[in-house]
Amino acid sequence: MSFMTPMIVVATGNKGKLAEIQATAQGAGLDYTFRAIFDLLPDWTSPVEDGDSFEANAMIKARAGFEALGLPTLADDSGLAVDALDGAPGVYSSSFGGVEGDDARNNARLLDELAAVPEGQRSARFLSTLVLVGLDNLLPDAPHTITATGACEGSIGFEAAGEAGFGYDPLFIPATTPDRTMAQLSMQEKNAMSHRGQALQNLMDTLHQL
Residues tagged active-site: 77
C-alpha closest to that of 178 among 97, 118, 109, 119: 119
Cross-strand partners of 89: 81
Cross-strand partners of 123: 155
DSSP H or E run through 202: helix 195-208
Q: What is the secondary structure of 24-93 as a DSSP string?
A: HHHHTT---EEEEHHHH-TT--PPP---SSHHHHHHHHHHHHHHHHSS-EEEEEEEEEEGGGTT-BGGGG
C-alpha to C-alpha distance for 99 and 178, rounded to whole angstroms = 30
